[in-house]
A and B are shown apart, each in its own frame.
Chain A
Amino acid sequence: EAGVAQSPRYKIIEKRQSVAFWCNPISGHATLYWYQQILGQGPKLLIQFQNNGVVDDSQLPKDRFSAERLKGVDSTLKIQPAKLEDSAVYLCASSPGAGEGTQYFGPGTRLTVT
């Protein structure tokens, strides 16, 4: 079974630039999550989708971050404009059910904002 795919794996941008990350979850998984993991910390949930609907985006900085999962499969997370403090690894995860049980993580995208 193929795992969660993410691209790119690494990205370096200057502050105030824009960036987008892509995630393809495990086939058939209804729930998709985006996490931000700052170095030395645990992952922090940014947004959770159930199929193509948003379940929880309470910790998403909506003034600069946006995410979509239009067809209920793959998803895109965008940051516009980026700030220095956005430097982190952005992890995508998926799970079969409605926000319960095991979450399967992708390899992540390491973002460096200079």
Chain B
Amino acid sequence: GQQVMQIPQYQHVQEGEDFTTYCNSSTTLSNIQWYKQRPGGHPVFLIQLVKSGEVKKQKRLTFQFGEAKKNSSLHITATQTTDVGTYFCAVGPDGSARQLTFGSGTQLTVLP
């Protein structure tokens, strides 16, 4: 399956600061999904990106897919304590690999 590297592994921010996590691959990706997992919870789907250069927004969250479709980012503006959790990127199935491969995740801590 396709492999993705996710950085940083951990991020501590003060409430109100911005946060960004990055997902990188050495190969071209067919699509990428982002999930959020609260402490003690299960992954919850946030969004899927498919097109080169695609940008999608969900309130304070901005998702980008690189022009070469080899990287993606999730940016949170003005973090809140409710944003605490681990954010995973996951590479979706394509014609040759049907499994969803998750990155290692970025654990976000928001300090009040």
Report which A residues bind B (CB closer than 8 A).
33, 41-45, 48, 55-56, 58-59, 91, 93, 99-108
Contact = CB atoms under 8 A, between A and B. Distances in A.
B109 to A, nearest CB: 14
B42 interface: yes
B42 A48 contact: no
Which label, helix, strand, loop or mixed, suits the secondary structure of the B interface? loop
Given A44-B102, A93-B43, 20 more contacts: A41-B105, A42-B6, A42-B102, A42-B105, A43-B43, A43-B102, A45-B99, A45-B100, A45-B101, A58-B99, A59-B99, A91-B42, A99-B93, A99-B98, A99-B99, A102-B45, A105-B42, A105-B43, A105-B44, A106-B42
7 nearest A-B residue pairs (beta carbon): A42-B102, A105-B42, A99-B98, A45-B99, A102-B45, A99-B93, A105-B43
A48 B98 contact: yes
A108 B100 contact: no
Which label, helix, strand, loop or mixed, suits the secondary structure of the A interface? loop
Nearest to A55: B98
B85 interface: no
Contact of A41 (B33, B43, B45, B104): B104
A76 B48 CA distance: 29
Interface string B87-105: 0101011000011111111
A91 B103 CA distance: 16
Nearest to A3: B42
A25 B62 CA distance: 30
A100 B13 CA distance: 34
Contacts of B44: 105
30 contacts: A41-B104, A42-B6, A42-B103, A42-B104, A42-B105, A43-B43, A43-B88, A44-B102, A45-B101, A48-B98, A48-B99, A55-B98, A56-B98, A56-B99, A58-B99, A59-B99, A91-B43, A93-B43, A99-B93, A99-B98, A99-B99, A101-B48, A102-B45, A102-B48, A103-B43, A103-B45, A103-B100, A105-B43, A105-B44, A106-B42
